[in-house]
Amino acid sequence: MIQFFFENIDTIPLSDATKNWLINLITNEQKKAGEINYVFCDDEYLLKVNQDFLQHDYYTDIITFDYVKGKTIAGDIFVSLPRISENAESHSKDFNLELHRVLAHGILHLCGYKDKTEEEIKEMRNKEDYYLNIL
């Protein structure tokens, strides 16, 4: 089950089509959807999560906490909407496209994809692009 929550930020509309797209992504990766919570927030909220849980003192657009068991995908995914908006603007992208890229990014992490090395980053981007093209 995929749920959307909002902390310290106004809600934005997210359709059932978005949830279905994410579930299809999970299925295409040969996994099953478990309990997945997206927490949309502002930059300061996500910075505090980054500091408190990861001991990182910088802004980011997404933090994924992995509770995966076997092939069942589960986790809490924190997303900064202002950071997505800023990234979309600086890369001349549509906000909704960038939002969906980040939503997919979190799920891909739960599916086992990493983004620490150049090769991992390239694979992650290719997967994001693939799923955005079938959105």
- Mean residue pLDDT across the chain: 96
CATH of the domain at 10: 3.40.390.30
> What pLDDT, on the 0 to 100 scale, is given for residue 62?
97
pLDDT at 110: 98
Note the pLDDT of residue 18: 96
Q: Is 25 exposed, middle or buried (0-12, 13-18, 19+ CB in 10 A)?
A: buried
pTM of the model: 0.94
Question: Is 16 marked as binding a ligand?
Answer: no
pLDDT of residue 60: 93
Q: Do the annotations mark residue 91 as ligand-binding?
A: no
The helix (run of H) or strand (run of E) holding residue 63 is strand 62-66
Residue 9: give the domain boundaries. 2-133
Q: Does the annotation flag 115 for ligand binding?
A: yes
